[in-house]
Amino acid sequence: MTTLPTHTEKKLGLVIDLDTCVGCHACVVSCKGWNTENYGAPLSDQNPYGADPSGTFLNRVHSYEVTPDEGAAMTVHFPKSCLHCEDAPCVTVCPTGASYKRVEDGIVLVNESDCIGCGLCAWACPYGAREMDQAEGVMKKCTLCVDRIYNENLPEIDRQPACVRTCPSGARHFGDLGDATSDVSKLVAERGGMDLMPELGTKPVNKYLPPRPKDEQIDILAPFLDPVAAEPTGFLGWLDKTLERIG
């Protein structure tokens, strides 16, 4: 059913820390690896070794340059995947009922055997979170690794989305954002977690933690490295003055 649930029991989602993400793309690779081998159609590549390779990915890492009014610019690595919105516009536009939002945990999924591959849900998503698989002709999207997080065949430590499990810098966190006492909710409250394009009213579940301000003083030893004598004296002083006069 493409009617959105009025209430979900949980709001499972990701919290992505833009301060700690180093842009290594490990989450992209692990996501593609897990999701091409498990739930649903594999994530195909087209012309992967040719001049113009492309393929289906459920998670991609962009990099942005942010220039403040004053001071130096900084680079922000920006992983982007489905935000499992509360008011998911991708779900309601689906003509076949293939797209749905689960009542029990809020995950937005695609039932691939009902998907006709019309692509309208990808148009409806502001974030570019849905990609049509060019080999299978069905819509692919982040499942929040629904086949990992409840999978009792896996050790408990692995019952997290592949991207979270693999992140070497601890920039990705998984949990119930509907529960104010959960670790992810506390993290969001503490660090001012934000929504992407809030003006579109999609109410994303996933939150992004803004980069922390850079330290003013880079090195505590720096003051000790200041030049001892600002003005040259002796022979160098005479040379400096003479050359100054000639020039």
Partner 1 sequence: MHPAPSIIFFTVFSGLGFGLLTFLGFGKPDYSGFTAFIFFLIAYVFAVGGLVASTFHLGNPQRALKAFTQWRTSWLSREGCLAVAALTVMGFYAIGVVFLDTRWTLLGLLGAALSLATVFGTSMIYTQITTVPRWNHWTTPVLFIGYALTGGAFLAGQTSIAAPMLLALGVLQCVVWMVGDKLFATSGSTIETATGLGAMGKVRMFEAPHSSKNYLMKEMVHVIGRKHARKLRIIGVLCLSLLPYLLLVIPPFHHLLSLFALLLHIGGALTLRWLFFAEAEHTVGLYYGQR
The footprint of partner 1 on residues 207-246 (CB under 8 A) is: 208, 210-211
Geometric angle at alpha carbon 7, from 79 and 147, rounded to 5°: 50
Q: Is 69 in the site for partner 1 (CB under 8 A)?
A: yes
**159 vs 169 by CB, closer to partner 1:** 169
Stretch that binds partner 1, among 49-57, 160-168, 170-178, 239-247 (CB under 8 A): 49-57
Which lies closer to partner 1 via its Cβ, residue 105 or residue 131? 131
Show the tokens assigned to 241: 């003055």
Between CA 98 and CA 110 the distance in angstroms is 5
For 17: left if phi > 0, alpha if psi spans -120 to 50, otherwise beta; the answer is beta
Residue of 176, 238, 181 whose CA lies nearest to 9: 176
Token pair recorded at residue 62: 């962009």
Helix (H) or strand (E) holding 166: helix 162-166
Contact pattern for partner 1 over residues 132 through 161, marking x by CB under 8 A? xxx-xxxx----------------------
Q: Is 194 in the site for partner 1 (CB under 8 A)?
A: yes
* Binding residues with partner 1: total (CB under 8 A): 70
Task: For the CB of residue 222, give the shortest distance to partner 1 in the complex, in Å.
Answer: 24
Q: How far apart are the first and last CA of the chain?
A: 83
Query: How far is Cα 16 from Cα 142, in angstroms, rounded to an integer?
Result: 15
Stretch that binds partner 1, among 30-38, 166-174, 188-196, 235-243 (CB under 8 A): 188-196
Which residues share a beta bridge with 75? 65
- Specify the residue, 198 or 237, whose C-beta has the smaller distance to partner 1: 198
Residues in the site for partner 1, rule: CB under 8 A?
A: 1-3, 18, 25, 28, 52-57, 60-69, 73-76, 78, 80, 89, 91-98, 114-120, 122-128, 131-134, 136-139, 194-201, 208, 210-211
